[in-house]
């Protein structure tokens, strides 16, 4: 479908469905209960695809973890979370160090640890091994349960034979139990397709949320399955599950403007819980990771653990959020504006850093990540914005957002 057609369908969708209230199609219509769903801890553990890991349905994302926050890890464990996700790049290794410190006194064997490196298309096996070794030192452990090639958005990275050489060695040496690939970029579908066809990974960590699920739109309109971006992603997830590959969802909150949703929430039932319930009900998702910053957030998030069906009230919260963020949220796994900027500004990356800064509230991390961008938004400061004006399928005002993002993060 052409960009213009998709856009007009989006508008129609907004008129017929999102703006006029729910028409619930095949959705549980349970009303919200009076009791607060705050956590009684993890309620469900799931087998992660073909691995022997039995992981908490809601698991720990550690992107902003900083020194002195070991107690956050401990609280998560006390609540039954047993899968902790980190990466060498999170705070330049700080997240790994904090998790390592938190687990060093007899706790390591009670959890599964996953970490990641960005292994480039020309990276060598020995370079990858020394980065894995550095991660293991920071984590104060001899092995990780899952080791990911991080943020893959380029087939050449998957075709790098050195990754395979490294992976074989790391497994033989017992440093890595299972291998994974994570991704949230515009070429994710192609990369998953290739990886699944070539049996490269045991686990996939994918950016997917209710807004990427055609069923969310069908709920409101009966026939709007094509308004979800990245139509190929659900198909690829199904294909991965056919091979019993573990599928972990990330970025499930669709941008995390959580405070904006507080006025619409009732009786302790929150937007975050609704978004997590949605994705945990997805037939091709095993579990999810979500960034956890403090005890309150852990307790709130775990209110969605072991969840049953999505309620009508949950759907209304998701609908409200979708309306609120319709033209400000840069969709993960989208690249529709590619080629629109003559100065090659990496628009989705810039807008993702903006999300980290303004929605997640992690300005210092966003600055750090922004500094690594090859094609940042500096040209936007002297551009009139006309080349990218109509480039976004979803009417995100790219020029209005990219210039200020550069000023904020540079």
Least distance from C-beta 352 to ligand SF4, angstroms?
9
User: Segment near ligand SF4 (CB under 6 A), from 127-135, 262-270, 274-282, 382-390?
Assistant: 382-390
Phi first, then psi: what are they for 114, rounded to 5°?
-130, 135
Q: Is 402 in the site for ligand SF4 (CB under 6 A)?
A: yes
Q: Is 347 in the site for ligand SF4 (CB under 6 A)?
A: yes
Given 180, 246, 303, 348, the residue binding ligand SF4 (CB under 6 A): 348
Least distance from C-beta 394 to ligand SF4, angstroms?
5
Q: Is 393 in the site for ligand SF4 (CB under 6 A)?
A: yes
Q: Is 352 in the site for ligand SF4 (CB under 6 A)?
A: no
Q: Is 120 in the site for ligand SF4 (CB under 6 A)?
A: no
User: Segment near ligand SF4 (CB under 6 A), from 43-51, 79-87, 210-218, 390-398?
Assistant: 390-398
Least distance from C-beta 342 to ligand SF4, angstroms?
6
C-beta of 273 vs 405, nearer to ligand SF4: 405
Q: Is 303 in the site for ligand SF4 (CB under 6 A)?
A: no
Least distance from C-beta 300 to ligand SF4, angstroms?
28
Given 28, 343, 364, 410, the residue binding ligand SF4 (CB under 6 A): 343
Closest CA to 291 of 231, 258, 250, 332: 250
Given 132, 200, 365, 388, the residue binding ligand SF4 (CB under 6 A): 388
Residue ranges in 322-341 that form contacts with ligand SF4 under rule CB under 6 A:
330-331, 334-337, 341
Least distance from C-beta 280 to ligand SF4, angstroms?
25
C-beta of 93 vs 211, nearer to ligand SF4: 211
384 contacts: CB under 8 Å, gap ≥ 6: 399
Q: Is 72 in the site for ligand SF4 (CB under 6 A)?
A: no
Interacting residues toward ligand SF4 by CB under 6 A: 330-331, 334-337, 341, 343, 345, 347-348, 351, 377, 379-380, 383, 385, 387-388, 392-394, 396, 398-399, 402
């Amino acid at each position: 479908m052409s960009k213009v057609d998709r856009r007009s369908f989006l508008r129609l969708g907004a008129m017929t469905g999102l703006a006029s209230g729910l028409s619930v199609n095949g959705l549980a219509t349970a009303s919200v209960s009076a009791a607060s769903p705050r956590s009684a801890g993890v309620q469900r553990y799931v087998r992660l695809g073909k691995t022997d890991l039995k992981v908490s349905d809601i698991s720990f994302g550690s992107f902003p973890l900083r020194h002195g926050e070991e107690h956050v890890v401990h609280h998560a464990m006390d609540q039954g979370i047993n899968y902790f996700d980190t990466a060498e790049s999170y705070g330049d290794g700080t997240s790994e160090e904090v998790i390592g410190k938190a687990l060093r006194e007899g706790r390591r064997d009670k959890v599964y640890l996953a970490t990641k490196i960005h292994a480039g298309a020309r990276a060598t096996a020995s370079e990858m091994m020394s980065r894995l070794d550095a991660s293991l030192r920071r984590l104060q452990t001899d092995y990780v349960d899952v080791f990911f090639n991080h943020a893959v958005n380029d087939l050449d990275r998957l075709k790098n034979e050195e990754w395979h050489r490294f992976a074989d060695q790391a497994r033989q040496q017992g440093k890595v139990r299972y291998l994974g690939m994570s991704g949230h970029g515009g070429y994710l579908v192609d990369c998953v397709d290739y990886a699944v066809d070539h049996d490269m990974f045991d686990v996939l960590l994918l950016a997917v949320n209710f807004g990427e699920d055609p069923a969310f739109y069908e709920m409101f309109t009966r026939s709007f399955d094509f308004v979800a971006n990245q139509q190929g992603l659900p198909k690829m997830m199904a294909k991965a599950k056919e091979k019993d590959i573990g599928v972990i969802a990330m970025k499930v909150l669709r941008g995390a403007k959580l405070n904006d949703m507080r006025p619409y929430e009732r009786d302790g039932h929150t937007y975050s819980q609704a978004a997590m319930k949605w994705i945990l009900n997805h037939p091709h998702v095993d579990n999810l990771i979500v960034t956890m910053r403090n005890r309150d957030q852990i307790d709130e998030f775990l209110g969605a653990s072991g969840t049953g069906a999505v309620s009508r009230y949950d759907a209304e919260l998701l609908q409200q959020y979708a309306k609120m963020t319709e033209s400000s949220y840069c969709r993960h796994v989208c690249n529709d504006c590619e080629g629109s900027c003559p100065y090659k500004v990496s628009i989705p990356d810039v807008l993702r850093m903006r999300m980290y800064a303004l929605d997640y509230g992690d300005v210092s991390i966003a600055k750090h990540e922004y500094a690594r961008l090859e094609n940042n938004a500096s040209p936007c400061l002297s551009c009139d914005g006309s080349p990218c004006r109509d480039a976004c399928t979803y009417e995100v005002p790219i020029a209005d957002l990219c210039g200020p993002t550069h000023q904020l993060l540079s």
